[in-house]
Amino acid sequence: MYALSTVVMNHRDWVSSFYPETVPFVTESELTRRISFPEEASPAEQGRLVLQALNMEGAFSARRTEEGKLVILRNHPVHPRRITYETESGHLQVEQQPFEAPRFLERMHRRRGFQQDYLLEDVWALSVDLVILTMVVWAFSGAWMWWELKTTRLWGISCLVFGFGLFAFFLLTI
């Protein structure tokens, strides 16, 4: 997933050319529901209550528009949704982002951190940390296993020197 999504991000213009008619969101349902918020509740707290009422809990961000509408972006990995709630009328609009593989991959790549109040999100963030730790372990265990193979030392050292040399060159030039 991380390798494929990086290819997508590295060639964003080219990949986007395969999706000329991208639609941000498509209306899924519209309904009226009165949801009461505690006084002085922040948009995030209100968003959480709306998602609870819709049985759509999970990672999200929420904001109030200038017109007073509450806009919630529910960051589902496969089907992200935008929910717009008009507090006074109770009108709710639920829109879904059509599935597109590049957007899905990029979303998965960027999903991390412990900022959401959901246990599952923290477990995902923990798995991301585990991937990081594993990559470091692979790097060092791989280097150690290479060193044990005496026949590959010379070519290995050449690759190592060339790799680190090129990396250092980039650090100093771009």
Partner 1 sequence: MANRKVPHLKFNLIVRRTHLYLGIFLLPWFLMYSISSLPFSHRSYLDAYYDDGTPLWVSRWEGNYYIPLDTETDHRKIGAQVMQEFDLEGSFGTYQPAPDQLAIYIYDFWNATQVRYFHDEKRLVIQDRRFRWDHFLTGMHARGGFQQASFLADLWAVIVDIVCVAMMTWVASGLYMWWQLKSVRRSGALVILSGTLSFVLFLFLL
Span 142-161, contacts to partner 1 by CB under 8 A: 142-143, 146, 149, 152, 155-156, 159-160
Let me know how long the chain is.
Answer: 174
In this chain, which stretch among 31-39, 43-51, 87-95, 166-174 interacts with partner 1, using CB under 8 A? 166-174
In this chain, which stretch among 6-14, 33-41, 64-72, 93-101 interacts with partner 1, using CB under 8 A? 6-14
Residues 95 and 169: their CA atoms lie apart, in Å, by 48
Tell me: does residue 131 bind partner 1 (CB under 8 A): yes
With CB under 8 A as the rule, give the number of residues binding partner 1.
52
Nearer to partner 1, 35 or 58 (CB): 58
Tell me: does residue 130 bind partner 1 (CB under 8 A): no
- Enumerate residues 6+ apart whose C-beta is below 8 A from 25: 81, 82, 95, 96, 97
CB 73 within 8 A of CB 80: yes
Phi, psi of 24 (to 5 degrees): -65, -50
In this chain, which stretch among 21-29, 30-38, 40-48, 124-132 interacts with partner 1, using CB under 8 A? 124-132
Minimal CA–CA distance to 81: which of 24, 5, 20?
24
Calculated CA dihedral for residues 15, 107, 82, 55, nearest 10 degrees? 140
CB atoms within 10 A of CB 33: 11
Tell me: does residue 44 bind partner 1 (CB under 8 A): no
Contact residues: partner 1, CB under 8 A: 1-4, 6-7, 9-13, 58-59, 76-78, 111-115, 120-121, 124-125, 127-129, 131-132, 135-136, 138-139, 142-143, 146, 149, 152, 155-156, 159-160, 162-164, 166-167, 170-171, 173-174
